[in-house]
Amino acid sequence: MQQEDFTCQSLSHFPNTGAVAWQSPSNIALVKYWGKKPVQLPANASISFTLSNCYTSTKLSFTKSDTRRVQVFVDGQEKPSFLKKIETFFERIETYCPYVNNYAFKIETENTFPHSSGIASSASGFSALALCVLSIERKINELSDVDFYKKASFLSRLGSGSACRSVYGPMGVWGAHEHYEGSSNDFAVPYSDVHEVFKNYQDTILLVDKGQKKVSSTLGHDLMIDHPFAKNRFEQARNHMFDLQKIIKDGNILAFNRLVEKEALTLHAMMMTSDPYFMLFKPNTLKIIHMVWEKREADKIPFTITLDAGANVHLLYPAEYKQVALQFIQDELIAYCQNEQYICDEVGKGPLLKMEQYA
C-alpha cells in the first residue's frame, strides 16, 4: 500500500448516523523514536511492546452534517481544550478520509491511566480514534484486515507518531529499517518473531510524577533538528534495531537489559544536551533506578528499567518474577512513587473493537 492508496475515493453510501467504539492500548518503546521530519515522519526506526491494561476506550458517534463538527468528552466531561489537537488530526487525515468533513462527531473517551503522565496517552488515544474513524469507512469500502490495520496505523501516526505502533500486538515496528520486512516511515508493522519469554513480559509502571509535563514531546522532537549528537544517535538507534531483532527472537534477557536501558538513558541524555536543555527526571526517578539496579545485582533478578518522555519508571521483567517484583515494590519502591501509585501491566495483543452500529 503506497501513500496514495490510503485515500478513500468514494463519498457515497456512507451511513447517516451511527456509533463505533474501540479500546486501544498504550505502548512502551524499547528502541525509542526521538526526532521527526514533517509531517510526523520518524528520524529513526523504533520498536515497542504493546501494553495490555493501559488503554483508551473511545466511542465515536456520528451524524451527517454539512460541515465537520467535533465535540470531545473525557471521563464524561466536555473538554474543549482537547479540540485543538483533535482538529489538527482531522485536518491531517481529511485528504485520506474525506468523509470526515461530512459528519458531526461526538468523541467520548476515557483512559485506564492518568493522561499526560509520561504514559503514552496520545498513543492509545489517537490509535483508538483512528480505528473508530476507519471503521466507518470499512462499512462501505471493503478493506482486508491487513489493509484496515495498515491504514489505521497510518492515520494514527498523523495524530501522534508513537500511536501508529499501538495498532499491533505484541510488538510494533515503525520506521523504515532494512532488517524489518515491510517496515515503513508511513505506518507501523506488526512484529511477532518474539520468544515466549517476551510474549507476556511484565511492565510495572512506577508513577513518580503524574503532573503535566513541562516540556512536550513535540518540542523535544524539534530540538533534535540542530542537536549536536543527532547523527550519532540516529545511527545508534539503527544499530539497536538490528541487534534487538536477534535478542527478541532468542529470548536473551541479559542482552535485552543492556540494550533497552541504554536506549532509555540515551533518550534522556538527548534531552539534557539539547539547546535549550531540559530534564524530565525527578529525584525519585533516579532513586528508583538505583534501587532497581542494586536489587538486580544483589538478588540476580532480571529487572530492566525504561522510560518514556517523562519521570515515571517502567520496570520490565519476565512473568515468572511477578511475585518477587511486586513484593520488592511494596517493601521498597512504593515510598518513591507519587501517592504510592503504580500500574501493573504486561505485553498485550493490541486493540479491540467494542461496538459498532450504523444506520
The binding site for ligand PMV (CB under 6 A) comprises: 29, 32-34, 46, 120, 122, 160-162, 217, 267, 308-309
* Pick from 188, 225, 169, 205: nearest CA to 308: 205
Considering the complex, state which of residue 61 and residue 153 has its C-beta at the smaller distance from ligand PMV.
153
Closest distance between ligand PMV and the C-beta of residue 24, in Å?
14
Pairing relation of β-strands 69-74 and 46-64?
unpaired
Q: Of 32 and 240, which CB lies nearer to ligand PMV in the complex structure? A: 32
Three cell numbers written together for 359: 444506520
Bridge partners, 105 (sequence order):
62, 70
Smaller CB separation from ligand PMV, 161 or 351: 161
For residue 47, CA distances in Å to 54, 189, 224 come to 18, 10, 19
The Cα–Cα gap between 45 and 26 comes to 18
Q: How far is the CB of 327 from ligand PMV (least distance, A)?
A: 29
Q: How far is the CB of 26 from ligand PMV (least distance, A)?
A: 9
**Residue with smaller CB distance to ligand PMV, 61 or 124:** 124
Q: Which three cell numbers stand for residue 266?
A: 540515551
Q: Which long-range contacts (CB under 8 A, 24 or more apart) does 65-72 make?
A: 65/102, 65/103, 65/104, 66/102, 67/101, 68/94, 68/100, 68/101, 68/102, 68/103, 68/104, 68/105, 69/103, 69/104, 69/105, 70/104, 70/105, 70/107, 71/104, 71/105, 71/106, 71/107, 72/107, 72/109
Distance CA 7, CA 38 (A): 19
User: CA-to-CA distance for 30 and 24, rounded, in angstroms?
Assistant: 19
Residue 121 or 204 with smaller CB distance to ligand PMV: 121
CB of 60 to ligand PMV, least distance (A): 21
Residue 311 DSSP class: S
Shortest spacing between CB 9 and ligand PMV, in angstroms? 29
List C-alpha distances in Å: 30 to 42, 190, 260, 266, 338.
15, 15, 5, 12, 24
With respect to ligand PMV, which residue has the nearer C-beta, 34 or 99? 34
* Angle separating helix axes 83-93 and 145-159, nearest 10 degrees: 130
* C-beta closer to ligand PMV: residue 120 or 129: 120
Residue 46 or 284: which CB sits closer to ligand PMV? 46
Please identify, using beta-carbon distances, which residue of 97 and 267 lies nearer to ligand PMV: 267
Nearest distance from residue 339's CB to ligand PMV, in Å? Answer: 23
Q: What is the DSSP string of 218-233?
A: HHHHHTTTT-TTHHHH
**What's the min distance (Å) between Cβ of 256 and ligand PMV?**
17
Q: What's the closest the beta carbon of residue 181 comes to ligand PMV, in angstroms?
A: 20
Please, what is the minimum distance in Å from the beta carbon of residue 25 to ligand PMV? Answer: 13
